[in-house]
Amino acid sequence: MLDQRLVRDNPDLIASELGRRGMAVDLNGLQLIAQQQRNLEEQRSQLQAEGNRIGKEVGQRIQNGSDPKGSEVAEMRQQGNMIKQKVAVLEDEEKQLSARLREQLLTLPNLPSPDCPEGRNEDDNQERRHWGTPRQGEGLLEHWQIAEQLSLFETERSVRIAQSRFVTLTGQGSRLERALINFMLDLHSAKGYKEIMPPVLVNTASLTGSGQLPKFAEESFRCADDDLWLTPTAEVPLTSLHRDEIIPADQLPLRYAAYSPCFRREAGSYGRDTRGLIRLHQFNKVELYWFVHPDQSHAAHAQITADAEAVLQSLELPYRVIEICTGDLGFSASCTYDLEVWLPGAKAFREISSCSNCGDFQARRSAIRTKVGKSNQLIHTLNGSGLAIGRTMAAVLETGQQPDGSVLLPKALVPYFGKDRIQPE
C-alpha cells in the first residue's frame, strides 16, 4: 500500500510514477480525504490534550483543598465531559475517513523502482543474461506428448474428478514431482533458508496484506461458508507470518523457503496452454521469501534471483533472465526479474520464476516493522518462485527426452528420483 502521507503531500509524484506503469489517475479526491483525515486527527489531538490538562487541574485543585462536589470543580468536570463527547464524534468521523482512504489506497499498485526499465507491455521487457545452450532439433516432443507416452499423468480422468485445467499425476510422474519438491527444498535449506509448510487456506486479511485483494479476487478460489480462500501462492501466508509484528533488527534478514499447493482461476487465460502442466488451476510450487532491512533490499533482490537461478543450473536447464518493464510489473512489485526456462519441444522460453522486490508495499499493508533507533520502520519484502514444480517438470521432460522414448534426468535429481531416467513401464 502506498504511503498516505504521499497522497496528502505529494500526489503529483504518485500520479507521475503510476503513469510510468501506464496508469492515468486523478488523486484529487483521495488527497482531499487524506487532508480531511489529518485535520480531524489534529483537532482530536488538541482536544485530548486540553481534556488531559483539565483533568490534571481538577486533581490539583482537589489536592489543594477545593471541594470535590463544589461548583468550581463541577464546572471544570463538565468542560472535560463536553471535550470527551467532541473527541468521540471526531474519532468516529476520523475512522470513517480512514476506512475510505484505506479502501481506495488498497486498489493502487506499488510505485516502480527508479531503476525499473521504462516500457508499456511485455514487448518492452529486457533480457539481462542467459545461461546454458538451448537444445534444438527436429522431432522433439512437447512435455505433454512425452507424458502421454510414459503415462505420467491423467488429464481426461481429472476432468471427471474436478474440471478442465487439473491433472492427476500417476506413477513415475508423481514420483518425479515429489523428487523435484524435495530437491528444491534441500537446495534452499543448504543456502540458509528456513523451510516452511504454511496453511493452504488463508483469510482475507492475508490476501489483502500481500496485495492479492481486492484487485485479484476473481482469480482466487473462495470457501463459501468461511472467511477463507485457497492460497494462490505461498507468498500470501509467508507475508502474514509476521503480520502486525515488530521484527528485531538483529534477526533480519529472515529467509524462508516454503512448499505449498497453489490455486488460481487463471481468469482471462482460456484457450492458452490447454494441454499439459503450464497453466493449471492447481499446481505445486516452492516459494522463496525475504524480510529485510530497507538498506539491504537491493542486494537481497540480486541474491533471491541468484538462488532461483541455482535451481535451474543444478538441473542443467538453459534459461534467460528478463527484467520486467514498468508497464508489465506485477501489482505489488517495484522491480522484477523473470526467469524463463527453455522448452525444446515447444521451441520457446517460458516463465518459471518471478523474483520481485516489493519494497515496503506489503509491509505497510500488513504492519510489519523493525526497530530503527527508538522508532519503528517498515521493512522490505521480496519473493520469488524457487521454482514452479509443474513447469520445471515440463522442462526436465523436454530437455531430457531420448530417441528411445525415455527421459534422461539431471544428475542432481537422480538421488531423489532413485534412477537416472524415466522409461516406459
pLDDT tens per residue, range 324-347: 999 999 999 999 999 999 999 999
What is the structure's pLDDT at 411?
Answer: 98
Report residue 70 as a C-alpha cell: 463544589
Q: How confident is the model at residue 268 (pLDDT cuts 50, 70, 90)?
A: low
What integer pLDDT is reported at residue 82 of this predicted model?
86
pLDDT of residue 51: 82
Comparing C-alpha atoms, which of 129, 119, 128 is closest to residue 328? 119
What interhelical angle do 172-190 and 389-400 show, nearest 10? Answer: 110
Helix 172-190 and helix 143-150: axis angle, to 10°? 120
Average pLDDT over residues 220-236: 95
Give pLDDT tens digits for 25-62: 999 999 999 999 999 999 988 988 888 888 888 777 77
* Mean pLDDT in residue range 221-236: 96
Query: What pLDDT was estimated at residue 199?
Result: 97
Task: Reply yes or no on whether the pLDDT at 267 is more than 80.
Answer: no
- CATH 1.10.287.40 for domain 4-105: yes
Interacting residues of 301 by C-beta distance below 8 A, sequence separation 6+: 335, 337, 355, 356, 357, 382
Q: How many residues does the chain have?
A: 425
Locate CATH 1.10.287.40 in the chain: 4-105
Residues 6+ apart with CB under 8 A from 184: 257, 259, 286, 311, 386, 387, 389
Helix 172-190 crosses helix 297-314 at what angle (to 10 degrees)? Answer: 140
Report which of 202, 238, 209 is spatially closest to residue 223, judged by C-alpha positions.
Answer: 202
The model carries a pTM of 0.91
Q: Which CATH number fits domain 122-422: 3.30.930.10, 3.40.50.150, 3.40.190.10, 3.40.630.30?
A: 3.30.930.10
Band of the pLDDT at 270, cuts 50, 70, 90?
low
Mean pLDDT, range 368-391, rounded to an integer: 95
Residue 351 has pLDDT above 60, yes or no: yes
Which residues of the chain does CATH 3.30.930.10 include? 122-422
The HSE-up count of residue 89 (CA atoms within 13 Å, CB side) is 7
